[in-house]
């Protein structure tokens, strides 16, 4: 442990508060080494891609000129060169652990971790866990999947090292399972819970069904919450007040080793480790960086790990945070708006589920489903308990500035996710 003060702001100030100029120099050196790895390993997928663009090993271009890659590019590469493609820098033979993403927006993705990368990931998890206020002796429970899901593959190594009791219950697939989780937490006591917005709704309903108040169980706990709307003060404070918790927003990218992000107690955006990752916010069409405060797609480059990602477009829509954070951590920080695949285009404007969710917040945040794709009007199905169709239509039209078509459906009729919610059709 860097020092024994449990009240310190950062896990390791010497790593997390490096001045921006030094971070830029480290990134330049690290990414130069990544560029050379393409030819030295070699990585045929990237080598061919870069040479087609007119580049060579001996002359690394400006970062923004390097062609982006996406998960779809990697999938195509693996289809052409089965089973694992020519893009991977860690082979199956070199892997110490395997993991699989949930496949929220497509086929689950296989990840190969080297032993070195696993150790680095644990160090990054220390930073994240400390930031959320979880400490030695706490009971930490979560509803993340098990098996080959990345969280399970890490096996709570960071929690064990910190002296934290892990209570992994898995997703609440049925009301009965959700109720059993609630009863377990009541018996064991909970100091921290990691779950998604959909899961919290499920647990609240299950608790009421067995005559238990979930707020009594969670009061005083830290809530590590995967729900984009709670990056905003109003929704966050509403959840904190309802359950008596201290909420920290979390995110990340499962296929990127160690890329776990969370906000600090100052809620200035999601902090990513600055020692291994450079985040660009880019125009989805051109790949060029956008201006401060503008929405763009997250393009990530990394160094210092065996895994290789250079100008990898995660295809999440984000806004970069550039002002210094009071917690003292430097490096990448952003607000997550949503997945690019979930967008609706209305009158040339991109609208994401979070836009709809925030527009409906004053109406009680009813459940909804947004029709993705290009339309002449925004098409939304909304559960009817909190507000009627005309009230919903008016709120959306006024706040989003586009024509709106609302279909009112019965409360409880829209599906609830057992893990990550996707509010699109």
Topology adopted by domain 1-339: Rossmann fold (3.40.50)
Rounded distance between C-alpha atoms, residue 233 and residue 246, angstroms: 13
Instruction: Please give the pLDDT value at position 104.
Output: 58
Q: Which of 260, 245, 2, 295 is nearest to 124 (CA)?
A: 260
User: First-to-last CA distance in the chain?
Assistant: 47
* Residue 341: DSSP 8-state: G
Say what percent of the chain tops pLDDT 90: 81
Closest CA to 145 of 119, 185, 108: 108
Q: What is the pLDDT of residue 416?
A: 77
Domain residue extents for the chain: 1-339, 343-409
Residue 363, token pair as written in the block: 């109406």
Residue 1 has pLDDT above 70, yes or no: no
**SS3 annotation, 365-397:** CCCEEECCEEECCEEEEEECCCCCHHHHHHHHH
Indicate if the pLDDT at residue 292 is higher than 70.
yes
Report, as an integer, the average pLDDT of 338-347. Answer: 91
Q: pLDDT band at 105, cuts 50/70/90?
A: low
Task: Work out the number of other CB atoms within 10 angstroms of the CB of residue 425.
Answer: 12
Q: Are 370 and 423 in contact (CB under 8 A)?
A: yes
pLDDT, tens digit (0-9, with 9 covering 90-100), for 43-78: 999 999 999 999 999 999 999 999 999 999 999 999
Is the pLDDT at 346 greater than 70? The verdict is yes
Give the mean pLDDT of 11-29.
96
The DSSP call for residue 318 is E
Instruction: Report the chain's mean pLDDT, rounded to a whole number.
Output: 93
* pLDDT for residue 210: 98
Residue 386 has pLDDT above 80, yes or no: no
Whole-prediction pTM: 0.93
Instruction: Calculate mean pLDDT across residues 86-104.
Output: 90
Confidence grade of residue 202 (pLDDT, cut at 50, 70, 90): very high
Which pLDDT belongs to residue 112? 96
pLDDT digits (tens, 9 = 90+) for 222-237: 999 999 999 999 999 9
């Amino acid at each position: 442990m860097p020092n024994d003060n449990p009240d310190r702001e950062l896990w390791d100030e010497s790593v997390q508060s490096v001045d921006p100029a030094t971070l830029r120099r480290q990134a330049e050196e690290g990414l130069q080494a990544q560029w050379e790895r393409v030819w030295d390993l070699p990585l045929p997928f990237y080598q061919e891609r870069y040479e087609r663009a007119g580049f060579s090993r001996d002359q690394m271009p400006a970062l923004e000129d390097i062609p982006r890659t996406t998960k779809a590019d990697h999938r195509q590469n693996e289809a052409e060169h089965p089973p694992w493609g020519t893009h991977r820098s860690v082979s199956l033979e070199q892997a110490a652990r395997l993991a699989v993403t949930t496949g929220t927006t497509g086929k689950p993705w296989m990840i190969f971790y080297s032993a070195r990368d696993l150790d680095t990931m644990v160090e990054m998890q220390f930073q994240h866990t400390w930031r959320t206020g979880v400490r030695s002796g706490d009971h930490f429970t979560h509803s993340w999947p098990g098996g080959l899901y990345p969280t399970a593959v890490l096996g709570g190594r960071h929690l064990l090292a910190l002296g934290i009791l892990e209570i992994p219950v898995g997703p609440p697939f049925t009301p009965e399972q959700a109720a059993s989780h609630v009863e377990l937490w009541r018996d064991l006591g909970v100091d921290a819970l990691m779950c998604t917005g959909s899961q919290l709704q499920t647990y609240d309903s299950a608790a009421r069904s067995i005559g238990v108040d979930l707020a009594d169980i969670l009061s005083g706990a830290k809530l590590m919450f995967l729900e984009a709307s709670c990056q905003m003060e109003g929704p966050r404070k509403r959840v904190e007040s309802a359950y008596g918790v201290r909420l920290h927003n979390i995110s990340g990218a499962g296929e990127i080793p160690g890329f776990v992000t969370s906000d600090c107690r100052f809620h200035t955006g999601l902090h990513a480790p600055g020692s291994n990752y450079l985040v660009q916010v880019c125009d989805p069409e051109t790949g060029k960086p956008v201006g401060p405060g503008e929405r763009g797609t997250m393009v990530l480059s990394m160094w210092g790990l065996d895994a290789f990602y250079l100008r990898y477009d995660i295809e999440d829509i984000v806004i970069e945070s550039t002002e210094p954070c009071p917690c003292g951590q430097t490096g990448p920080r952003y607000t997550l708006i949503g997945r690019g695949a979930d967008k609706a285009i209305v009158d040339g404007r991109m609208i994401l589920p979070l836009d709809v969710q925030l527009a409906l917040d004053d109406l009680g945040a009813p459940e909804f489903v947004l029709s993705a794709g290009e339309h002449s009007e925004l098409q939304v199905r909304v559960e009817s308990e909190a507000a009627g169709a005309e009230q919903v239509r008016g709120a959306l039209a006024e706040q989003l500035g586009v024509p709106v078509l609302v279909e009112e459906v019965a409360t409880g009729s829209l599906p609830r996710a057992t893990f990550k919610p996707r509010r699109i059709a």
